């Protein structure tokens, strides 16, 4: 964890937390710690917030899609490792792309309501062979579904907040100054 701002950054995360419209202070203040841990400069952090605010729901959807694709790659390679170490899958190969096809098949199956099973599209011949691996695949499926559901509900809430317009009660300059000082003292 970083003890302070990265060299070359200004160390003023108050604008990031306050936002242009004075809203979302609680949610964005929580993100400050992540920004500092990631080592982003002030400009990089402001650019990320600007993209999300400008793009709104589309930016959230794009970031969610990228996250889902990264999850599928990690999912397929984790199960590949599991199969090579502990077994439990019916598989005829152990290559990277062979297991990546399993991840793609899994994503198509859950993303399009098992259309591959309904039409007999066998993208991958890998199958969980025992109860433990079936439970593992189900658990990873549950994590992905809950993550996408949470991103969707966040996007809907974000769209509602944006459509309401600016808040009628803006923060006083003194409140903004105290908030900026508090944010600068994040560990």
Return all residues near 91 (Cβ < 8 A) that are at least 6 apart. Answer: 83, 98, 99, 102, 125, 126, 127
- CA angle (182 as vertex; 180, 183 as ends), nearest 5: 65
Q: What is the pLDDT along the chain (187 residues), one digit of tens a residue?
A: 334 444 444 443 333 333 333 344 444 444 555 555 566 677 776 776 676 667 666 777 787 888 889 999 999 999 999 999 999 999 999 999 999 999 999 888 888 888 888 888 888 999 999 999 999 999 998 998 888 888 888 877 776 766 665 555 556 677 777 777 777 776 5
Strand partners, 100: none
Please give the pLDDT value at position 39.
Answer: 65
Please give the pLDDT value at position 29.
Answer: 46
pTM of the model: 0.57
> From the CB of residue 91, how many other CB atoms can be counted at a distance below 10 Å?
20
Strand blocks (E) in 56-119: 89-90
Contact yes or no for 52/61 (Cβ under 8 A): no
């Amino acid at each position: 964890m970083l003890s302070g701002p990265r060299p070359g950054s200004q160390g003023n995360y108050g604008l990031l937390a306050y936002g242009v419209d004075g809203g979302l202070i609680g949610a964005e203040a929580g993100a400050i710690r992540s920004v500092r841990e990631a080592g982003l400069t002030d400009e990089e952090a402001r650019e990320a917030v600007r993209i999300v605010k400008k793009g709104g729901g589309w930016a959230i959807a794009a970031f969610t899609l990228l996250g889902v694709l990264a999850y599928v790659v990690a999912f397929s390679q984790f199960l590949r490792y599991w199969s090579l170490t502990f077994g439990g899958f019916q598989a005829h190969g152990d290559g990277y792309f062979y297991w990546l096809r399993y991840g793609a098949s899994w994503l198509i199956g859950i993303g399009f309501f098992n259309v591959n099973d309904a039409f007999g599209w066998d993208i991958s011949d890998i199958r969980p062979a025992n109860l433990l691996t079936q439970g593992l695949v189900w658990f990873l499926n549950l994590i992905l579904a809950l993550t996408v559901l949470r991103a969707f509900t966040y996007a809907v809430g974000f769209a509602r907040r944006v459509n309401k317009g600016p808040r009628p009660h803006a923060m006083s300059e003194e409140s903004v100054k105290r908030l900026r000082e508090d944010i600068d003292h994040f560990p």
